[in-house]
Amino acid sequence: NGCNDKSRGSLIVFEGLDRCGKTSQSGRLVSYLEKKGVPVESWRFPDRSTSVGEMISSYLANKSQLDDQTVHLLFSANRWEKRSLMENKLRSGITLVVDRYSYSGVSFSAAKGLDIEWCKSPERGLLAPDLVVYLDIAPEKAAERGGYGSERYEQLEFQRKVAQQYQTLRDSAWKVIDACLSVDSVEEQIREFYGLFDKAV
């Protein structure tokens, strides 16, 4: 996905448990890249702005009930409905920094007990990330950060299962960062990884 083509933007994905710092750090990376003059956009999944996203949002807020398979396919459809826009942006040279992607889709659903290969299946054919920043934090530590809100998955026992599923998904695009370091140290490490990655492109 553009690894050997400087004219394409890069697809950079942030992953990790709830409260690991993805939103803070993806925002910081975007500001850093903007300052460097890199054309960049900040994206996130679920994209709650579409009609599929609204169904997901209502489910996460416990305002609607859906079975596990259905919500899994909705999360996946929410990525599929953005696929061609993503591809066009990358082709036109824009780097996308994305808060959560297919790894969240597979880990959260597999943590509920769905078959992992079944979970991976609707993700096949989506754009592969060039770099995945996994912000690594123990579920207990994440829970200490301001406490969880009221959304469906924000429970310690469930986050433990998600963490286990994430570990089975590590691939060559992954960089694992200790998310318990200070916000500035995490940011510095991400910049280092980005620098190495950018040189290798």
Question: In whole angstroms, what is the distance from residue 12 CA to residue 193 CA?
Answer: 11
Amino acid at site 149: G
Residue 81 or 154 having the CB closest to ligand Z5A: 154
Residue 16 or 129 having the CB closest to ligand Z5A: 16
Looking at 5-13, 19-27, 81-89, 165-173, which segment touches ligand Z5A (CB under 6 A)? 19-27
What are the CA-CA distances from residue 164 to residues 12, 107, 167 (Å)? Answer: 22, 8, 5
The four Cα atoms 35, 86, 25, 169 give a dihedral, to 10 degrees, of -140
Do residues 42 and 26 touch, judged by C-beta distance below 8 A?
yes
Between 104 and 123, how does the x/- string for binding to ligand Z5A read (CB under 6 A)? xx--x---------------
Residue 9 or 21 having the CB closest to ligand Z5A: 21
For the chain, helix (H) and strand (E) counts, in that order, are: 8, 5
Query: Is residue 75 a contact residue for ligand Z5A (CB under 6 A)?
Result: yes
Query: Is residue 166 a contact residue for ligand Z5A (CB under 6 A)?
Result: no
Query: Is residue 53 a contact residue for ligand Z5A (CB under 6 A)?
Result: no
What are the CA-CA distances from residue 25 to residues 30, 51, 142, 155, 201 (Å)? Answer: 9, 28, 15, 22, 22
* Number of shown-chain residues binding ligand Z5A (CB under 6 A): 26
Q: How far is the CB of 127 from ligand Z5A (least distance, A)?
A: 14
Q: How far is the CB of 102 from ligand Z5A (least distance, A)?
A: 7
Element (H, E) at 131: strand 131-136
Query: Is residue 129 a contact residue for ligand Z5A (CB under 6 A)?
Result: no
Positions that interact with ligand Z5A (CB under 6 A) = 16, 18-24, 44-46, 60, 75, 99-100, 104-105, 108, 145-146, 153-154, 179, 182-183, 186
